[in-house]
Amino acid sequence: MTEPEQGAVVLWLSSRYENIELVQAALGHVCRLRGIDGEMEHWIGMALREAVANAIRHGNRLDPQKRVLVSFGGDGDVLELTVGDEGDGFDPGRISDPLAPENQMKTSGRGIFYIRTFMDEVSFSRGEKGGTILTMKKDLKTRIAGKGEQ
Ligand SMILES: Nc1ncnc2c1ncn2[C@@H]1O[C@H](COP(=O)(O)OP(=O)(O)O)[C@@H](O)[C@H]1O
Ligand SMILES: [Mg+2]
């Protein structure tokens, strides 16, 4: 995985679902420091939990020996979060569309859709060892997640 930016808050976690709580707590702390309000924190938290759950489950396949890296960075009006895993990577172009009629009854396959809805910029890249690095940015000037000024 690539080195996180200087000054960022970084967590290294083993691949256990209970660690998602820890990520949520760290997000709360960062939001307090950055003056991010509760509603914004709620939407960012939804996206972040989905991303970490994917890294644990699909990336690292629940192998507790494999780690998930979460970093909280960006400055000024932008919060930048990254979630990296030690899996085999995947092609984000092949994710199925949860809004397609054949998928609407499925309860899975919505995480990345939510992430793209709640965050302003979302990109996937490959880590040095082949895992996935998901980078998500939130413009803190927007009042409602991803919807601009209302
Ligand atoms: N970090 C990851 N590593 C490997 N595959 C991933 C990762 N994140 C997502 N995926 C793939 O993208 C698909 C869609 O993810 P998502 O929208 O969160 O739905 P779900 O987790 O319910 O399957 C997953 O089923 C998986 O195949
Ligand atoms: Mg998911």
- Of residues 35 and 7, the one with the higher pLDDT is 35
- 126 Cα to the center of ligand 2, angstroms: 18
Q: Which pLDDT belongs to residue 96? A: 86
Q: Answer whether residue 81 is part of any domain.
A: yes
Give residue 84's Cα distance to chain centre. 9
Residue with tokens 């979302």, as numbered in its chain:
122
Q: Answer whether residue 1 is part of any domain.
A: no
Q: Answer whether residue 147 is part of any domain.
A: no
- 55 Cα to the center of ligand 2, angstroms: 9
Q: Which pLDDT belongs to residue 107? A: 82
Which CATH number characterizes residue 53's domain?
3.30.565.10
The parent domain of residue 123 ranges over 9-139
Q: Kind and range of the H or E element at 79?
A: strand 78-84
Name the pLDDT band for 108 (thresholds 50, 70, 90). confident
Tally of domains in the chain? 1
Q: Is residue 100 classed exposed, middle or buried when 0-12, 13-18 and 19+ CB atoms within 10 A define those classes? A: exposed
- Is 80 exceeded by the pLDDT of residue 2? no
The closest-lying atom of ligand 1 relative to the alpha carbon of residue 134 is 1
Q: Answer whether residue 46 is part of any domain.
A: yes
Q: Kind and range of the H or E element at 91?
A: none
Q: Answer whether residue 115 is part of any domain.
A: yes
pTM for this prediction: 0.92
The ligand placed nearest to the CA atom of residue 112 is: 1
- Is 70 exceeded by the pLDDT of residue 98? yes
In a mutational test of the pocket of ligand 1, which residue from 50, 54, 105 has the highest number of ligand atoms less than 8 Å from its CB? 54
Task: Show Cβ contacts of residue 62 under 8 Å, excluding neighbours closer than 6 positions.
Answer: 15, 16, 56
Q: Answer whether residue 57 is part of any domain.
A: yes
Q: Answer whether residue 78 is part of any domain.
A: yes
Q: Answer whether residue 3 is part of any domain.
A: no
For ligand 1, atom 6, the nearest C-alpha belongs to 58
